[in-house]
Amino acid sequence: MMFRPLMRRLVPAIMAALASQAALSAPLTFSQCVSIALQQNPDIADSTEQVNAAKAGLRQANGYRMPKLTASLIGTETNDALNAFGLKLAQRGATFNDFGASQFTGPGALSIAPANLNYPGVVHNFDTRVELDIPVYTGGMIDGGIRQAREYIAAAENGDKAARQQVIFNLLQAWEGVNAARAYLDVARQAETASRSMLTMMQNMAKGGTVVKSDLLLAQVRLQDVLVQKTQAENAVAGALDQLHMLMGIPLDQSLDVGPEVNVSPVTTPLIDLQRAAQENNPGIIALRHQAAADSASIEMARSARLPQVGLMVRQDWNDPNLGFSSNSWTIGGNVSWTAFDGGITRGKIDQAEASHNQALARLARAEAGVAMQVADARRKAAEAEQRLTEREMAVTQVEEAARLVNKRYAGGVATITEQLGAQAELDKARADVVAARYDLAVQRARLKLTTGQLDPDSL
């Protein structure tokens, strides 16, 4: 019978693992990568537990508002005269003889110390107790603690949201890094093809005696340089995939392939509106606001020590020489305490809480000003990256034509090997510059959305 509940728990986990493995065997979409990362990335696990801890703090704060019920069992063995007599009274077992009645023979015996009262022997007692303590008024300490806990939850939830957006941004960088590395590898392969073609042409020309041996050697050196660049590009692809593995929280030896580049849409909102949106919607800024509010609540909690504390107590006792409930008694009480002087302890706590609150407000003001600057900087860099990509794409077309003309002139014997190799190197650089510009454009647009708190993989 115990096997079935175990299987009900294991089967879904096994099926999910198999589905995940099957998904990773094919190229993933960016949304799929984000979904896996948000479940398995260690940073997300950390921020999620911070939210859970804050919610536990609220449950604890609410608990202080409720009555406290305790049950206890106190076992006592004593021959102390005062305690022994009190325990006999609690057990409802005191007799006249416990006062030394047998030694009282009249007024003349008043000076005799009764042995039974002063030397009662050993008394055993078991006090079974149930006690209910009820807070009536705490000067605002409990209410302040609850408000502080709620603000901590809101701060933690926005911190979790900020962490998730940061993971998405890091994942986008890694994703685009994989595609950029693959694009560099394509450039290197194109350069290899061109270098091999050029070397073959020059070898044929060398056989006919139309080129000198030094030109052939330079072509061979060029090919070796290109092969080194190709190896570097292959390593860059592997490194970028490793980074993606780490961000997604999956083992490095697990198969992983990704789809094409993410088309991050431009942000056309006016700058002033973007800065306002960032200050209102950036989860990191919102988290700091709630942190400042929590520190404000701590001032209220510190000030509560200046006000009276009121509580009620209800208690039921059973006292018996053996474990049992033969003798019971109840007690109802109330207490009011008000600290008139504590040597400046409360004043110090209030000053400390106010200083912490002022620090939180300063951090918030600094962050709000900083995010406005970050938005402006990201906006400028996104526009710059867009312009650079347009220019680099135009340059490739022009450099390709220039390289074709130089190759034709070299074949006709009117250009040097230096010009021909230089034209090919310039073409390789132009193609690589396009790759870098595309990567930078996607990252800068995503950074702008991250800064404004609008980075959503479903609406990139």
Question: What pLDDT shows up at residue 20?
Answer: 47
The C-alpha torsion from 86 through 89 and 93 to 95, rounded to 10°, is 90
Q: Quick check: 304 and 144 in contact, CB under 8 A?
A: yes
* Sheet bearing 123-137, strands edge to edge: 68-78, 123-137, 309-320, 328-337
User: Of 272, 316, 56, 47, nearest to 167 (Cα)?
Assistant: 47
CA distance 203 to 194: 14
Burial class (CB in 10 A: 0-12, 13-18, 19+), 55: middle
Burial class (CB in 10 A: 0-12, 13-18, 19+), 18: exposed
* pLDDT one digit per residue (tens) for the chain, 460 residues: 433 443 444 444 444 444 444 444 578 888 888 888 888 888 888 888 999 999 999 999 999 899 999 999 999 999 999 999 999 999 998 888 888 888 777 787 777 888 888 888 899 999 999 999 999 998 889 999 999 999 999 999 999 999 888 888 999 988 888 888 888 888 888 888 888 887 887 788 777 776 677 777 887 888 888 889 889 888 988 888 898 888 888 888 888 888 888 888 888 889 999 899 888 889 999 999 999 999 999 999 999 999 999 999 999 999 999 888 888 999 999 999 998 888 899 999 999 999 999 999 999 999 999 999 999 999 999 999 999 889 888 888 888 888 888 878 777 777 777 777 777 778 878 888 888 888 889 899 999 989 888 888 777 7
Query: Which regions of 7-115 does DSSP assign to beta strands (E)?
Result: 68-78
Residues 6+ apart with CB under 8 A from 239: 181
> The tokens of 39 are what?
């479940």
Query: Which regions of 209-274 does DSSP assign to beta strands (E)?
Result: none
Question: What pLDDT shows up at residue 373?
Answer: 92
Residues 6+ apart with CB under 8 A from 270: none
**26-48 burial code (b ≥16 CB/10 A, e <16):** eebebebbbebbbeebebbeebb
**191-225 burial code (b ≥16 CB/10 A, e <16):** beebbeebbeebeebeeeeebeeebbebbeebbee
Q: How many CA atoms lie within 13 A of 249 on its CB side?
A: 14
Question: What pLDDT shows up at residue 353?
Answer: 93
Sorted by where each starts, the structural domains of the chain and their CATH numbers stand as 28-66+140-307+345-459 (1.20.1600.10), 80-121 (no CATH)
CA distance 18 to 26: 13
Q: Is 276 helix (H, G, I), strand (E, B) or coil?
A: helix
* C-alpha radius of gyration, the chain, whole number: 40
Residues 6+ apart with CB under 8 A from 113: 100
Question: What pLDDT shows up at residue 25?
Answer: 56
Give Cα 249 distance to the centre of its chain. Answer: 14
The percent of the chain in helix, strand and coil, each rounded to the nearest 5, is: 70, 10, 20
Question: What pLDDT shows up at residue 211?
Answer: 66
CA distance 110 to 123: 26
> The tokens of 402 are what?
């220039």
What sections of 249-344 are H helices per DSSP?
271-281, 283-303
CA distance 346 to 349: 5
Q: What are residue 124's DSSP bridge partners?
A: 77
User: Of 102, 34, 73, 129, nearest to 328 (Cα)?
Assistant: 129
Backbone torsions φ then ψ of 75, nearest 5 degrees: -100, 135
CA distance 197 to 219: 10
Question: What pLDDT shows up at residue 98?
Answer: 83
Question: What pLDDT shows up at residue 365?
Answer: 93
